[in-house]
Amino acid sequence: MAAPDPAPLRTPLYDEHVSLGGRMVDFAGYALPVQYGGILEEHRAVRAAAGLFDVSHMAEIAVSGPDALDFLQRLLPADVSRVDGRRVVYTPMCREDGGTVDDLLVYRLGPDAWLLVVNAANRAKDVAWVKERADAFVGRPSPARLQVEDVSDRYAQLALQGPAAVALAARLPGLSGAPLLGRYTQGSFTLAPGAAGPRAVDLLVSRTGYTGEDGLELYLAPESAPALWRTLLALGAVPAGLGARDSLRFEAALPLYGHELADDVTPVEAGLVRFLEFRKPDFSGRAVLLRQFTQGASRRLVGLSPEGRAIPRAGCAVHSGTRPVGHVTSGMFSPTLGKGLGMALVENLVGGAEPAPIPDCAIRIHDRPEPAALVPLPFYRRPKQG
């Protein structure tokens, strides 16, 4: 008899979600709210003002020691040397064959201390991957020079997203400097007593975002997260769940691991060439990725817009005439644009570095071919603030 699946883990904010009526689901092994009042309302709140997400399920890996920088430069395609204690870098992490192990954020916490923030579903795989490569790292004189540790349980993470998010956060005592953070930068702050409990609380704050809007990520000790959550809601943030997080990132064409990225999908195929630093002489997967970049990959990620009212879903086949040429990686109704849209991984029909159109393009939805047009990605770009 097979053993029952283990009960989902709970983030430090589980009781807050339940008290707000959040509809809880199992996501990446954690009990998380898919929505509170409604996905459309939460989506629109983030686009118009400020939404608050619990992303404490994300995993964190500490890499430290005198050899940490050299190791990360070999491990990751991005130029990690640019992470100077203020900058944050987004990067894929690749296999030698170019496939994507995961995508992640890199923070620098000290001269020889780094933090990798990875996807929750890949926590065990990523920790093992990084540790194995650290053990094999050439030029490491002793284990004392390079350490890798899973520190996920030391962090809770709140994501405050939307055009009003930064101004709202700046109202917290001790976070008035948050508006000074530029995009993809980080800073350390200390909240005054009362904002996240009876004592002062240290925060690591960054300004990256996974919604297509401006916003902040707030990292803090798990025991302080519920009080900060309640404070931000009292200031006007709207609680938002996984449903809105997915629709927001989808409109911004931000990749979701297991959909646009996977072990057998390279960053070049997924349209992430801008995050690959080919001026570095060596990193895992470089030879394959450089060949795809210069000669053209056999597949590419595209945006598709059905001509009618049909809504593409992940897994739907994409055809050119009667011939299958790919599949939808993510698809849904776009609340902002008011129609069904899809991202799809399709054959590069003519090869070469320049993409070609797909003649007689159609998506098979409910076993019917729905004519579709190729459209630019992302589907949505946030308006520039004056």
> What CATH number did the domain enclosing 128 receive?
3.30.70.1400
The residue range of the domain holding 282 is: 251-375
Asked if the structure places residue 327 within a domain, the reply is: yes
Asked if the structure places residue 173 within a domain, the reply is: yes
Q: Could you tell me if 50 and 73 lie in one domain?
A: no
Q: For the chain, how many structural domains are there in total?
A: 3
Asked if the structure places residue 385 within a domain, the reply is: no
365's tokens: 């939805």
Q: Could you tell me if 219 and 311 lie in one domain?
A: no
Q: Could you tell me if 41 and 161 lie in one domain?
A: yes
State the CATH number of the domain containing residue 224: 3.30.1360.120
Q: Could you tell me if 226 and 291 lie in one domain?
A: no
Q: Could you tell me if 278 and 238 lie in one domain?
A: no
Q: Could you tell me if 141 and 184 lie in one domain?
A: no
Q: Could you tell me if 143 and 32 lie in one domain?
A: no
State the CATH number of the domain containing residue 259: 2.40.30.110
Global pTM exceeds 0.75: yes
Q: Could you tell me if 283 and 334 lie in one domain?
A: yes
Strand residue runs (E) in the chain:
9-10, 23-27, 30-35, 51-54, 59-64, 89-94, 100-110, 113-118, 147-150, 156-161, 186-191, 201-206, 215-220, 238-239, 299-306, 317-320, 323-334, 339-347, 361-365, 368-375
Asked if the structure places residue 384 within a domain, the reply is: no
Cα separation, 307 vs 331, whole angstroms = 14
Q: Could you tell me if 358 and 257 lie in one domain?
A: yes
Q: Give the type of residue at 177.
A: G
Q: Could you tell me if 218 and 300 lie in one domain?
A: no
Asked if the structure places residue 306 within a domain, the reply is: yes
Asked if the structure places residue 303 within a domain, the reply is: yes
Residue ending a domain, among 154, 172, 196, is 154
Asked if the structure places residue 382 within a domain, the reply is: no
- pLDDT tens per residue across all 386 residues of the chain: 566 678 899 999 999 999 999 999 999 999 999 999 999 999 999 999 999 999 999 999 999 999 999 999 999 999 999 898 899 999 999 999 999 999 999 999 999 999 999 999 999 999 999 999 999 995 655 677 899 999 999 999 999 999 999 999 999 999 999 999 999 999 999 999 999 999 999 999 999 999 999 999 999 999 999 999 999 999 999 999 999 999 999 999 999 999 999 999 999 999 999 999 999 999 999 999 999 999 989 999 999 999 999 999 999 999 999 999 999 999 999 999 999 999 999 998 655 445 578 999 999 999 999 999 999 999 999 988 64
**Residue 307: closest CA among 362, 354, 242, 348:** 362
Cα separation, 213 vs 217, whole angstroms = 12
Q: List, edge to edge, every strand of the sheet that includes 51-54.
A: 186-191, 201-206, 215-220, 156-161, 51-54, 238-239
Residue ending a domain, among 250, 271, 302, is 250
Contacts of 21 (CB under 8 A, 6+ apart): 36, 37
Q: Could you tell me if 165 and 115 lie in one domain?
A: no
Residue ending a domain, among 250, 265, 290, is 250
Asked if the structure places residue 99 within a domain, the reply is: yes
Q: Could you tell me if 177 and 276 lie in one domain?
A: no
